[in-house]
Amino acid sequence: MKIIHHYLLKEIVGNILLVMLALIAMFSFFDLIQELDALGKGNYGLAQVLLFVLLSAPGHVYEVIPVAVLVGTMLTLGLLSRYSELIILRVSGLSIFNIAVMLLKISLVFTLITFLIGEMITPISEKMAQRMRIKATDSVVAQEFRSGLWVKDGNNFINAEEVLPDTSLLNLHIYEFDDQAKLVRTRNAKRAEYSHGKWLLSDVSETNFSANAVEVRQYTEVNWQSLIRPELLNVLLIMPEKMSALNLYSYIRHLSVNKQKTTRYEVALWAKMIYPLACIVMVLLALPFGFVQQRASGAANKIFLGIMLGVAYQVLNRVSAHLGLLNDWPPLFSAMMPTVLFLLAGLTMLYFVERR
């Protein structure tokens, strides 16, 4: 049994890594082609383009691991079936359940790898890539509105016209309201930098409104306490789907405290928890195809079918998330529906293969 397990491990892992390498190379090539349009803007040269593509690679690894597991497993099982090795395994006393358990042990390793890459590597590399690109092209972080970024913090409304890659804020406007929603103070600062748990405002103009007068003051520097932290501004640099679960949870809490809609980020958070389990689902989905007799072109057909199923899973994931936002579905339902559907499909096919 141990020999069989090692043999399957070597064959499946080898094919999964081969498929993964091919998919990452393809996506990195597409990134390179896309970035060539920005080549020459500011200091964005060829070295910076290649560095951006390299830093974006972990994000692609995270996205393609389930697809690579599906295609690699289908390819391996197809080859084993073609040379009657699966039949020999079954004749020797191994059931489909025994083979499935062996494959699931392999998929658990890739599930853990997917989770670690999504939590510890992709958020950091994606943020570094975006900061490097923005700084090199002399740009600013994408703005929510034409007037800049708007954030609600308790009774205050904050407007930053520009957010720099280091999360410094330029042309910051703070509007402070009392509990009766009356404007009591405004602050306009040329720049704001976060240090030691607070913001340092530079070149500040402060206007205080009272019942009888309006008072204007000028300050060179002012300390400003706010719940807004640079970690929360990271959402401007990377998509929610590529943020870490910890940062997503922190940002959801911030939005909840300020009574803002959190559905998109809750869907992304649940997806971060469920997505690694797709590796297990893909193995169960691939297993029934191994017991279909192969023709000469069977390997090519398996690769094509596996890629199509993987693409269908990724598309269904995106569609489910957007439909959930449009129809106000529960975030957990939107995040888990594609994985559950593919799991049911895999189990159903396994049932019919076992009965046959």
What are the CA-CA distances from residue 48 to residues 59, 126, 128, 186, 226 (Å)? 18, 14, 12, 41, 35
Whole-number pLDDT of residue 86: 77
Max CA pair span of the chain: 94
* Assessment of whether the complete model's pTM goes beyond 0.85: no
Q: Domain-by-domain residue ranges, the chain?
A: 2-137+262-355, 149-228
Whole-number pLDDT of residue 237: 65
pLDDT in tens, the chain (356 residues): 678 778 888 999 999 999 999 999 999 999 999 999 889 888 899 999 999 999 999 999 999 999 999 999 988 888 887 777 777 877 777 777 888 888 999 999 999 999 999 999 999 998 889 888 877 876 655 455 567 788 888 788 999 988 776 778 889 999 999 988 899 999 999 999 998 888 999 999 999 998 788 999 999 999 998 877 786 676 666 778 888 898 889 888 877 887 778 888 899 999 999 999 999 999 999 888 776 654 444 567 767 888 888 889 999 999 999 999 889 899 999 999 999 999 999 889 888 877 76
Distance of CA 205 to the CA centre of its chain: 40
Whole-number pLDDT of residue 171: 92
What are the CA-CA distances from residue 199 to residues 150, 194, 228, 236, 256 (Å)? 17, 4, 9, 18, 22
